[in-house]
């Protein structure tokens, strides 16, 4: 009995005995080397982000008047801005974030809210992507534009509700943003956290410290309509 127990113990020890080392590895460096995982949306040839590159400065040259505003591209040859920015224009001049000048070839009038479409012949450096739905209340948004016709500026705000009496009824439904914008920001894109366009700035409140923007649903309605572009006038 003792021998059997001893043999069994020896057998168990033999089963648990250490094994010789395997073949020596030829290389300790893994085959798959780490690759950069930079979002292509953030890639830029000159370091400016997409929101800056898609935003343009609009100069409305009228008869003895000059009006500046902001616009943004929705494709390579189409810009969106506020309707009152291009009102009474004799010519429209577009400048990009880096100072390049783009000539507008046609101006589209619209009955949808306070929006206007500008067609350009040259390709825009970048254009934005429209969001599929309007923003929600308390969403954080980014507004990029040219306040006072000055340098390109980025402003952050939060979406809030608006007082219907404070909004022009001809404009239609509008959202508010917790920021007071200067003239010249009309037509600026309102971007969500994913960089998608969720609205277009068109005015500021006279009573409350907030600005108004037209939701992207109205913009999509405008873009779904057949374009009615009229050539710019050369006479006053």
Partner 1 sequence: MSIPPPPPPDDNADPFRPPPPPTPDTPPQASESVPLPPPSSDAPTSPIPGPSSAGKKPVPDPSGPSTGTTEAIPSPSSPRTGSVFRRTPANEETTVLTPVTAPTNILDRIPLSERKRWRLFAGGTAGLAALLLAFTVYLLVINNQWQTRADALTIESYDLGERLTDALGQIVDQQAQIDLLGEQLETSQERVLELADEMAQAGDNATYTQQQLALYQELSALGGSVSLALNHCVNEHEKLVGYLKNPGAWDPESLAAYEAGVNQLCDSAQSANATLQKALTE
Residue 53 interacting with partner 1 (CB under 8 A)? no
Based on DSSP, count helices (H) and strands (E) in the chain, helices before strands: 3, 13
Stretch that binds partner 1, among 2-10, 155-163, 164-172, 206-214 (CB under 8 A): 2-10
CB contact burial 6-44 (16+ within 10 A = b; e otherwise)? eeeeeeeeeeeeeeeeeeeeeeeeeeeeeeeeeeeeeee
Closest approach, Cβ 64 to partner 1, in A, equals: 6
| 10 near partner 1 (CB under 8 A) | yes
Q: Does 81 bind partner 1 (CB under 8 A)?
A: no
Q: Would you give the DSSP letter of residue 198?
A: E
Question: Interacting stretch for partner 1, rule CB under 8 A, among 17-25, 35-43, 103-111, 216-224?
Answer: 17-25
Q: Is residue 13 involved in binding partner 1 (CB under 8 A)?
A: yes
Q: Give Cβ neighbours of residue 129 (< 8 Å, ≥ 6 apart).
A: 195, 196, 197
| Tokens 């995982």, located at residue | 37
Site membership for partner 1, residue 14 (CB under 8 A)? yes
Is 61 a binder of partner 1 (CB under 8 A)?
A: yes
Q: Is 175 in the site for partner 1 (CB under 8 A)?
A: no
| 152 near partner 1, judged by CB under 8 A | yes
Distance CA 116, CA 69 (A): 12
For residue 187, give the nearest of 71, 58, 52 by alpha carbon: 71
Member of 96, 186, 192, 210 binding partner 1 (CB under 8 A): 96
Q: Are 73 and 79 in contact (CB under 8 A)?
A: yes
Applying CB under 8 A, the residues found at the interface with partner 1 are 2-3, 6-7, 10, 13-14, 17-21, 24, 28, 46-48, 57, 59, 61, 64, 66, 68, 93, 95-99, 101, 146, 149-152
């Amino acid at each position: 009995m003792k021998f059997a127990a001893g043999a069994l113990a020896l057998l168990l020890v033999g089963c648990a005995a250490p094994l010789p080392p395997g073949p020596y590895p030829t290389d300790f460096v893994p085959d798959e080397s780490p690759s950069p995982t930079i979002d292509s949306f953030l890639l830029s040839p000159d370091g400016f982000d997409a929101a800056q590159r898609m935003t343009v400065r609009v100069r409305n040259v009228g008869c003895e008047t000059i009006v500046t505003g902001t616009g943004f591209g929705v494709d390579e040859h189409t810009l969106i801005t506020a309707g009152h920015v291009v009102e009474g224009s004799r010519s429209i001049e577009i400048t990009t974030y880096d100072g390049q000048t783009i000539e507008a070839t046609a101006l589209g009038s619209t009955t949808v809210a306070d929006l206007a479409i500008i067609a350009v012949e040259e390709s825009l450096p970048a254009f934005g992507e429209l969001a599929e739905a309007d923003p929600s209340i308390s969403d954080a948004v980014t507004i990029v534009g040219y306040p006072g016709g000055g340098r390109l500026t980025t402003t952050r705000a939060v979406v809030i509700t608006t007082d219907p009496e404070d909004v022009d009824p001809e404009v239609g439904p509008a959202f508010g943003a917790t920021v007071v914008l200067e003239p010249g920001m009309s037509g600026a894109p309102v971007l969500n956290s994913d960089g998608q366009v969720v609205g277009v700035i068109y005015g500021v409140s006279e009573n409350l410290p907030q600005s108004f923007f037209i939701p992207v649903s109205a913009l999509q309605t405008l873009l779904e309509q057949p374009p009615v572009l009229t050539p710019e006038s050369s006479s006053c």
